[in-house]
Chains A and B, each alone.
Chain A
Amino acid sequence: MMYLSLRRSAVGLFCLLLSQSSIAAELLSGTVDGKLEIQHRHFFNSPDIAQLDAISGQTSMALNVEYFKEWNNGDDRLEAELFGRLDGADSERTHTDIRQLLWTHYGNNYEFSAGLGRVFWGVTETQHLVDIVNQTDLVENIDGEDKLGQPMLRYQQFTDFGTFEAFLLPYFRERTFEGENGRLGGALNIDTDNPVYQSSSEENHVDWALRYANTFGALDLGLSWFSGTSREPDLFLNFDFNNQSTRPFYPQIDQLGADIQLTLGSWLLKLEAIQRNFDLPMFEDYSAATAGFEYTFVGVFGSQYDLGLLVEYSWDERGETGGAFFQNDATIGGRLTLNDIADSQFLFGISEDFDFSDSKSLFLEGATRINNALSLNVEARYFDAKDPANPAFAIRDSSFVQVGIEYFFD
């Protein structure tokens, strides 16, 4: 709903701009490019009883269009990115989003942005604890790397002793979840039309964030503070005589984050840590961290291939009952780069849960280029969990292989 009204106001703004014909002519001189993707997922196991009519195949199509315009010698820019997916099986995954609609002014030692934007904070690969400004577009992919456009005012100051940033985030975006036909949402059928907020302002609560980042030789350091509506909802069962549903609850939080990377020769050492505080009695403050390394072997087996070894461990103070997927888990993986003309590469690995020792997951991501405009990608995930207390239990039957073809245009 709120999302619709947001879209409406963005469209209104656009129409206002277009009504000024000289501005319209200006806007038409920008550049447009994008990509069209066709994707298919196949689930191997028969669905579990909670989902009798669950699907085994899921085909979808997605379109991404980007617009870019600069003026004042490049000191001012307008960036827009529109996204939409049409999914044949899951109506919740059929969705659109304004990923970006952002004006940025670049000063000598500062930048100011206003609009819908996207920022990334952090250094680790298996999860992104520190990255909190944008909401996760979870219905896109369970890896959590797709994000929704976030309304923001952003100011950055670049100094000799680091970069200082301040964000004002006047509107909240809800997390997206799969619908009843989706296989990766654990058959929870989350009622995204009826979220519950701690703040009486609900999605209009004004959040804010600060960040400091600097490079000290081989060390990159980021420190961040966020105050506002948690991007991560707590899911609760809503009992009602007519209808039982799972509803998302978005509490207010304060979060301190740190991300550190040390780059030493072929080694990358990484750490992300957060402390999250609540002011509700049923939520306990907690901390969580992910740490690990990457090491790259160049020209393995006498070939032109590079093999990167990736090891990360995640810990969460709330422990095995806290609801986090990565609460005492390690991931060991490899990144194989073929260094061929098609830029072929694979990332694969295994995650092991030490609290639920019968639980593991395997993943493989691969990509190669067919020609200048076409790319092929594959993704496979295998889940294994036997203990119903494990959050991964809900998707134990949802191992899948996904194939996508992307067509790029400009």
Chain B
Amino acid sequence: MFKKAYFVLLLVSVAFNFQTSAVANEPAEIENTQDKGLAIAKKMKQVNEGWVSSQSDMVMVLRTRKGDEVVRQMRSKSLEVLDDGDKALTIFDTPLDVKGTAFLNHSHTQKNDDQWIFLPALKRVKRIASRNKSGPFLGSEFAFEDLSSFEVEKFTYDYLRDEEFAGQNTFVVKMVPTDKYSGYTKSHVWIDQEHYRVQKIDFYDRRDTLLKTLTFAGYKLYKDKFWRADKQMMVNHKSGKSTDIEIKNLEFGIDLTDADFNEKRLNRAR
């Protein structure tokens, strides 16, 4: 029963929604840096509204400082929720000792997420504490919070500058988590001005020094509307370790309903 438990997941990139009441002005026209930062965040959400449901395969490659590699495979299903945070289900395929373990997350905009884990050996569904968001996900350089769905309400914003990044014009925005249990004091986020896609994030730890950098690569357009990165690369500057996540076989408009994300039916996950 004490088999490893606290895996989380769902991808930043697969879990966007937007409060329909908010109408964003064009960020470029705003003077006040905080208003401008918020407008950019809302726009990021807005351009992703309406994805409804998706599923994908994920390959996670963990590297030590010496260059040793370990590979983990999982599958993810996500459901868009318009008036709250999204729902996501992650099922583990390898390593084989955790095969069949399923993790369910109901994210919320105004309160702690609800999380359950299904342990196949015991046929047991356990509800787990979601506040432990700063801990590593499956021994990787991703913390739980790096992988949870982006919700506008979870941060305050400050626009810093325009900058060219990887041949694109980007906004650089400072984001400060509103949750005091976050492992970060702030992050700096590079967002391209054409499609509002996150290109890079610098994470600063509680001592306010640069801890990790996440870069996104291989953006592809799905359903003529939704940009998703094939690859996310996280480097830990302190430990020298890194983790890559590759997304494969991403599909939208999957036949998924609330019943597929019901904690009482988590034993059904395969």
Which A residues are closer than 8 A to B by beta carbons? Answer: 33, 35, 68, 70, 74, 106, 108-109, 111, 118-120, 123, 125, 145, 156, 158, 163, 213, 215, 220, 261, 263, 265-268, 294, 296, 298-299, 304, 306, 335, 337, 339-343, 345, 347, 365, 367, 369, 371-373, 375, 406, 408-410
Contacts and interface: CB of A to CB of B under 8 A. Distances in A.
Given A120-B122, A299-B134, A343-B4, A108 B97 contact: no
Contacts of B97: 35, 369, 375, 406, 408
A268 B97 CA distance: 26
A342 B64 CA distance: 12
Nearest 3 Cβ contacts at the A-B interface: A408-B96, A120-B124, A339-B136
A33 B129 contact: no
Contact of B264 (A68, A123, A163, A268): A163
Nearest to A68: B270
Contacts of B209: none
Interface in B111-133: 112, 114, 122-132
B213 to A, nearest CB: 18
A33 B127 contact: no
B64 A263 contact: no
A154 to B, nearest CB: 11
A70 B131 CA distance: 36
Given A306-B135, A340-B139, A369-B97, 4 more contacts: A265-B112, A367-B2, A408-B96, A408-B97
Nearest to A345: B4
Contact of A409 (B96, B122, B128, B183): B96
30 contacts: A33-B99, A35-B96, A68-B270, A74-B270, A119-B123, A120-B123, A120-B125, A145-B1, A145-B122, A156-B264, A158-B265, A263-B127, A263-B128, A265-B129, A266-B129, A268-B128, A268-B129, A296-B132, A298-B134, A306-B135, A335-B2, A337-B6, A339-B136, A339-B139, A343-B4, A343-B138, A372-B94, A372-B96, A375-B97, A409-B96
Interface in B1-20: 1-4, 6
Interface string B228-270: 0000000000000000000000000000000100111100101
Contact of A408 (B99, B130, B264): B99
Contacts of B138: 343
Contacts of A409: 96
A343 B124 contact: no
B217 interface: no
Given A120-B123, A145-B1, A373 B62 contact: no
B140 to A, nearest CB: 8
Nearest to A125: B1
Contacts of A296: 129, 132
A160 to B, nearest CB: 10
A371 B138 CA distance: 14
A300 B53 CA distance: 38
B134 A267 contact: no
B64 A341 contact: yes
Contacts of A220: 127
Contacts of A163: 264
A340 B122 CA distance: 24
Which of B70, B97, B99, B126 has the most chain A CB within a 10 Å cutoff? B97
Contacts, number: 105
A306 B96 CA distance: 23
Interface in B197-213: none
B95 interface: yes
Nearest to B130: A263
Contacts of B64: 341
A165 B181 CA distance: 38
Contact of A304 (B62, B136, B265): B136
Nearest to B64: A341
B92 to A, nearest CB: 11
Nearest to B3: A367
A74 B265 CA distance: 14
Given A298-B134, A339-B136, A341-B62, A268 B96 contact: no
B162 to A, nearest CB: 36
Contacts of B99: 33, 408, 410
B127 A345 contact: no
B96 A373 contact: yes
Contacts of B94: 372
B255 to A, nearest CB: 9
A125 B5 CA distance: 14
A265 B131 contact: yes
A265 B114 CA distance: 10
Contacts of A339: 135-136, 139
Contacts of A119: 123
Contacts of A158: 259, 262, 264-265
Contacts of B128: 263, 268
Contacts of A74: 270
Contact of A372 (B95, B122, B126): B95
Contacts of B114: 215, 263
A333 to B, nearest CB: 10
Contact of A266 (B124, B132, B270): B132
Contact of B131 (A120, A125, A266): A266
A305 to B, nearest CB: 9
Nearest to B133: A298
Interface string B36-47: 000000000000
A390 B264 CA distance: 39
Which of A35, A268, A294, A298 has the most chain B CB within a 10 Å cutoff? A298
Contacts of B134: 298-299
A318 B138 CA distance: 44
A294 B268 CA distance: 27
B147 to A, nearest CB: 15
Given A158-B262, A341-B64, A267 B70 contact: no
A106 B268 contact: yes
Contacts of A123: 126
B231 to A, nearest CB: 20
A366 to B, nearest CB: 9
